[in-house]
Amino acid sequence: MKLVVGLGNTGIRYKKTRHNLGFILLNEYAKEHNLSWKKDRKARALIIRHEHEDIIFVKPQTFMNSSGISVSYFMNYYDLGLDDLLVVHDDVDLDFLQTKLQKGAGPAGHKGVGDIVVSVKSKDFWRFRVGVGRPHNAQMTTEDFILATFSKQELKEIKNISLPISG
């Protein structure tokens, strides 16, 4: 079994923000494969159990900085190893739409990834980093930039990103 976790923040305010790129990509995958999200109260997450592919998709509902709560719940419940975990998230250190699949890297300031590292007591898991770039305006902070919404054109372009999973 594989655990694919998209990172984001809950609530309408954050729905189309750069920091919610993990949620956006998992939502697109679900839509393409006609899959529906279900609430798992114990895990504090929205989940899809894709039986055919033996994958559980997770959108933690704890806010970004506490994403590890849901991840560690599923890792323990299904007795998964670190190789079974794929975390999908935004990355300001990559150009817009640039992707990088890697294992064993530190969080590089990403607080959601950092919380997962603490929760699973290791950084040795797979990450699918998707670039959102950096602010073009020197006055805009990185935090303000990642919490700003994507343009309609950017959201269209994001739909072309494929998750590195089968199915």
Name the residues annotated as catalytic.
19
CA torsion angle 20 21 22 25 (round to 10): 130
- Find the radius of gyration of the CA atoms of the chain: 15
For every residue of 33-54, DSSP letters joined together read TT---EEETTTTEEEEEETTTT
- Which H helix or E strand runs over 18? none
Amino acid at 36: S
